[in-house]
Amino acid sequence: MGDLVQLSTIRKKKRLLEVKREQARRRLISLREKFLIPQIYRDLFGDLAAKYIVLKGGRGSGKTFAIVCFLIEESFDLKYENSLFLFLREIQNSIDDSVYSVIVDLIDQANLTKFFKIDKNRIRNRLTGVEFGFTGLRSTGGKTQFSQVNKIKGKHKVRFVFMDEAQDASEDSLNVLFPTVNRKGSVKFTDEYQKVLDALTGGTEIDIAESRFLFAMNPNFAVDPILSKTRTYGDATREVHINIFDLPPEFQDQQLLEQAMAEFGEIYYDHVWLGKPSPKISGYPFMDVPLMTAANDDRYKLPCVAFLDPSFKGGDYTALTFISQIDGRVFAWGHCWHQAWNNAKDEIAAKINEFECHEFYYESNGVGSVPIELFEPYGLVPIGRNTSGNKEDRIFRVGAFLTMLNLTFVSNWSNQAWLEHCIKYNIEADYDDAPDSLTNAAVRAGIVSDKMKFRRAA
């Protein structure tokens, strides 16, 4: 008898525990605000008049986490039933490039995993049918870019669009994105059928939520394409700039704060940690370099070093750069030829002999000592140097330091191709030969080392 009483007690406790768990489960779903996020973000998201929200700032400001937490919460709202929340990047080659893993991790931390169906490329709220989709507007960059933005035209019932790293968004992509997603997706019915619908629904009109756009970014320029586009929408747009230092202490990551303090004074500090625009660091390292016109006799007053970046088959450019440092200023000029270097050797030699060139270097990767023989008849003794390491990293690091040394381009000693390829260079540029030649010349001239740690002047 005692065993039966004990068994009955265990069963009652088990049923009571199940009831409590079910009540907690319902409470879990009904609580609209599930995550603790900075109030400034919470107020922005709660402003329904804010159709376009742009969060700007440096590292550690919680922009991406705040938006992802908010969208997880919103996915439980029945007004978004069976709709699509679209997570974008300008370039996304795989799901690993997206915020997919962040979403999965936050869902797990909030003990909400049972309410979501998590597949390899998408996430679905089991209660509302809201789907999280992940895509890039372009698959790759540079010469091989293929537009994927047209795939968005097939997406239906998009209620939220979140674009991370929005400073990378191109104007062409945005011109397709906004008009494509900016629609409710509602249809009109015939009068007869509308009467039947009214009879079933009591004449109640179904409210279809409008699409909202959320962007997280660390601006490259004072006005990136995304800022230019959203600002045209006037009162429907909200912008906020916030950095890790602006957050309440409970939201500050101590490890990131220590890192920020350790990096204070670095040339990239203002951009990375304060979110200030910086085309030099994040986008176009030579965009703001001034141009000057020099007199012909000045070419003998600027003793220089030359560096040749050879093209082998003429598919890219052969680039020749001259660099000189006088009285704390750096002057650079150069030429590009859209042909193989050995086909342009006469012009290369002529250019070098125009100036007071103390040393003539060339990139020996792939050509070995051949240039030494070919330039000997011109009275030139080129010095081969093998270049290694990450080319893009060298261009950005050395380029940033050169601009600190008041780099100036001598326009009338350069051809247009060299100037344009330097000034318009960014990570997706079709041609990097001129800036590659420029930064290698700076290193060989001893103006800067590509291994040094650059810091801002005090």
pLDDT, tens digit, 9 for 90 and up, residues 319-331: 999 999 988 899 9
Pairing of strands 122-125, 116-118: antiparallel
User: For position 419, what pLDDT does the model report?
Assistant: 94
Work out whether strand 318-326 and strand 329-337 pair parallel, antiparallel, or are unpaired.
antiparallel
Question: d(Cα 252, Cα 349) in Å, to the nearest integer?
Answer: 58
Q: Which residue segments constitute the domains of the chain, with CATH numbers given?
A: 31-272 (3.40.50.300), 291-444 (3.30.420.240)
This prediction has a pTM of 0.62
**CB-CB contact of 455 with 267 (8 Å):** yes
Residue 333, classified by CB atoms within 10 Å of its CB into exposed (0-12), middle (13-18) or buried (19+), is buried
State the alpha helices, DSSP H only, in 232-279.
254-262, 269-272
- The mean-pLDDT minimum among 21-35, 65-79, 197-211, 414-428 falls in 197-211
pLDDT digits (tens, 9 = 90+) for 262-299: 999 887 888 899 998 876 565 788 988 999 999 878 88
* φ, ψ (nearest 5 deg) of residue 30: -75, -25
How many helices and strands in the chain, by DSSP H and E? Answer: 14, 15
For residues 173-183, one letter each, b for 16 or more C-beta atoms within 10 angstroms of the residue's C-beta and e for the rest, the string is: bbeebbebbee
Asked whether 224 and 216 are in contact (CB, 8 A), the reply is no
Quickly state the pLDDT bin for 24 (edges 50, 70, 90): low
